[in-house]
A and B are shown apart, each in its own frame.
Chain A
Amino acid sequence: MKTLAELRAVLGERPWLDEAVAMIRTEPGAIGRLFPAAGRKCGREPLADAPGWSADEAARAVLLGALPPERTAAEVREVYRYGDAAEKQAVLKALPLLAIGGDAVPLLQDAIRTNDTRLVAAALGPCSAHLDAPAWRQAVLKCVFMGVPLSVVDGLDVRADAELAGMLASFAEERRAAGRDVPADALAVLESLREG
């Protein structure tokens, strides 16, 4: 995973971003108007040197990283609360890079409640380790149900357990009864859990 400093370096020369970072350091509340503008100011193209990140996502991570530690959790919550889908996705992606630990959980829970595949997927990154076991299993099952590939689930191999296997098996049975396909990645997980 990239660090915030590495993401900033990959973005190269960005006068708007430097100015925005300076403003947020002085007045953290300024992030409310700067964060939504990041896509228009920094572009949205994928970053070749930071696989999986686009320019706006990286810039937004850098903006969040500029918040003073004592304000980070509160401002991240506000930015997420009032974010559009792209902003919410960027917050979720940046969470592991911000030292907010368990404060991430309500945001993850909100994202998992949505019906937006991008947000559900983004909630299952490294911070999903903070979700308790029942919530995590339900989120994995929701991915299967929505057609989100299970490769987005961080630490799936380590955390998948017999309870999840039971849930996936029931899901597969229901799908087959309806004459519908079961996603191959779900079957693979089920198989490996049975073997284990």
Chain B
Amino acid sequence: MRIFDPHIHMTSRTTDDYERMAVAGVRAVVEPAFWLGQPRTNPGSFADYFDGLIGWEPFRASQFGIRHHATIALNPKEANDPRCRGVLDLLPRYLEKDGVVAVGEIGYDSMTPEEDDAFAAQLALAVEHELPALVHTPHRDKARGTERSLAVVDESGIAPGRVVIDHLNEVTVKVVRDTGCWLGFSIYPDTKMSPPRMVEILREYGLDRMLVNSAADWGRSDPLLTLATGEAMLAAGFSDDDVDRVLWRNPVEFYGQSGRLQLSDLDGAEATFAGNSILRGGS
């Protein structure tokens, strides 16, 4: 089983996770820029974070044969802090980077006017930089947040096929499916979605435009729940080809729209000399 995790926050994970993911078949990931748990108070803090997403983290992933890409944005939660608004001015530089395959995570947290502004401005950046967009849906008041997100996406003029609406569930799947946007599902140990519930959704709605991710981060989460979902699909009678479509070809198709996915020679051990610092224990 080859796995492309289209949403995982590797910054918060250990090298042990990379090792286990590689063994499980994870060959490529996309790491969206998001919140770090501790709110940031200035744009410089974001610049260093973005640098990690296009510098250190891809290097770290490459030690385990995993190709790492990123999405860059000011997340909705921190868009509410006026001290962080300057992040929007930093984005054009980062949205030109080779490893950046979308604008994200954008969207709503508490649906404030500040979030409206940041969301619309960043959808415009996605159009300008010819990138897809990754839209986070709020954990609270999700149904209303999802509908409002779809309205903002529609107003922005970006093609629905270049947008993924993420963290969907049984309640929000249908309204998104009808718009032509891609559908993201985050499989979590005990919140969001579980592998059996995901299988039911795939049975009911089919495999078109479906993306399954672990969204693993600093909270209680598991980077191998993509694999568990693939196994649950097989157990439920889906074919190997179906699993490959959901866990590999769909994310490749969605993020491939950026023109910046680099998945060639995945087995080559780039970024290493005779040995390398991580496998040797760091410095």
Q: List residues of A whose CB falls within 8 A of some B CB.
A: 32-33, 36-37, 39-40, 82, 84-86, 88, 114-118, 121, 142, 145-149, 183
Interface string of B43-78 (1 = CB under 8 A from A): 000010001001110110000000000000000000
User: How many residues does chain B have at the interface if contact means C-beta atoms less than 8 Å apart?
Assistant: 27
B93 with A33: CB separation less than 8 A: yes
Q: A116-B59, A142-B283 are in contact. Are A33 and B96 (CB under 8 A)?
A: yes
Could you show 16 A-B contacts with beta carbons less than 8 Å apart? A32-B92, A33-B93, A36-B93, A84-B51, A84-B58, A85-B54, A85-B271, A115-B278, A116-B55, A117-B271, A117-B273, A117-B276, A117-B277, A146-B283, A147-B277, A183-B274
B271 with A33: CB separation less than 8 A: no
Q: What is the CA–CA distance of A39 and B277 in the complex, to the nearest angstrom?
A: 26
Q: What is the CA–CA distance of A122 and B51 in the complex, to the nearest angstrom?
A: 18
Q: A33-B96, A36-B96, A36-B98 are in contact. Are A148 and B55 (CB under 8 A)?
A: no
Q: A33-B93, A33-B96, A36-B96 are in contact. Are A145 and B283 (CB under 8 A)?
A: yes
Q: A115-B277, A147-B277 are in contact. Are A84 and B55 (CB under 8 A)?
A: yes
Q: A88-B55, A115-B283 are in contact. Are A37 and B96 (CB under 8 A)?
A: yes
Interface string of B261-283 (1 = CB under 8 A from A): 00000000001111111101011
Interface residue SS majority, chain A: helix
Residues of A within 8 A of B271 (CB): 85, 116-118
A36 with B97: CB separation less than 8 A: yes
A147 with B283: CB separation less than 8 A: no
B93 with A116: CB separation less than 8 A: no
Interface Cβ pair total, 8 Å cutoff: 70
B273 with A40: CB separation less than 8 A: no
B97 with A117: CB separation less than 8 A: no
Q: Name the distance in Å between A126's Cβ and chain B's nearest Cβ.
A: 20
A84 with B56: CB separation less than 8 A: no
Q: What is the CA–CA distance of A36 and B259 in the complex, to the nearest angstrom?
A: 14
User: In this assembly, does B35 line the interface, its C-beta being within 8 Å of a C-beta of chain A?
Assistant: no
Q: Which of B51, B98, B272, B282 has the most CB of A within 10 A?
A: B98
Residues of A within 8 A of B259 (CB): 40
User: In this assembly, does B94 line the interface, its C-beta being within 8 Å of a C-beta of chain A?
Assistant: yes
Q: A33-B96, A37-B96, A146-B283 are in contact. Are A116 and B273 (CB under 8 A)?
A: no
Q: List residues of B whose CB falls within 8 A of some A CB.
A: 47, 51, 54-56, 58-59, 92-94, 96-99, 259-260, 271-278, 280, 282-283
Q: A117-B271, A117-B273 are in contact. Are A84 and B283 (CB under 8 A)?
A: no
Chain A residue with minimal CB distance to B281?
A: A145
Q: Name the distance in Å between A145's Cβ and chain B's nearest Cβ.
A: 6
Closest 6 A-B residue pairs measured CB to CB? A147-B275, A84-B54, A36-B96, A146-B277, A85-B55, A82-B93
Q: Name the distance in Å between B97's Cβ and chain A's nearest Cβ.
A: 5
Q: What is the CA–CA distance of A39 and B275 in the complex, to the nearest angstrom?
A: 26
Q: Name the distance in Å between B31's Cβ and chain A's nearest Cβ.
A: 13
Q: Name the distance in Å between A186's Cβ and chain B's nearest Cβ.
A: 12
Q: What is the CA–CA distance of A86 and B93 in the complex, to the nearest angstrom?
A: 15
Q: Name the distance in Å between B63's Cβ and chain A's nearest Cβ.
A: 10
Residues of B within 8 A of A116 (CB): 55-56, 59, 271
Residues of A within 8 A of B278 (CB): 115
Q: What is the CA–CA distance of A33 and B271 in the complex, to the nearest angstrom?
A: 25
Q: What is the CA–CA distance of A115 and B276 in the complex, to the nearest angstrom?
A: 10
Q: What is the CA–CA distance of A190 and B104 in the complex, to the nearest angstrom?
A: 51
Q: What is the CA–CA distance of A108 and B136 in the complex, to the nearest angstrom?
A: 39
Q: A84-B55, A117-B272, A149-B274 are in contact. Are A39 and B282 (CB under 8 A)?
A: no
Q: What is the CA–CA distance of A148 and B276 in the complex, to the nearest angstrom?
A: 8
Q: Name the distance in Å between A140's Cβ and chain B's nearest Cβ.
A: 13
Residues of A within 8 A of B97 (CB): 36, 84
Residues of A within 8 A of B94 (CB): 82
B276 with A147: CB separation less than 8 A: yes
Q: A86-B98, A117-B271 are in contact. Are A146 and B276 (CB under 8 A)?
A: yes
Q: Name the distance in Å between A114's Cβ and chain B's nearest Cβ.
A: 8
Residues of A within 8 A of B283 (CB): 115, 142, 145-146
Residues of A within 8 A of B47 (CB): 82
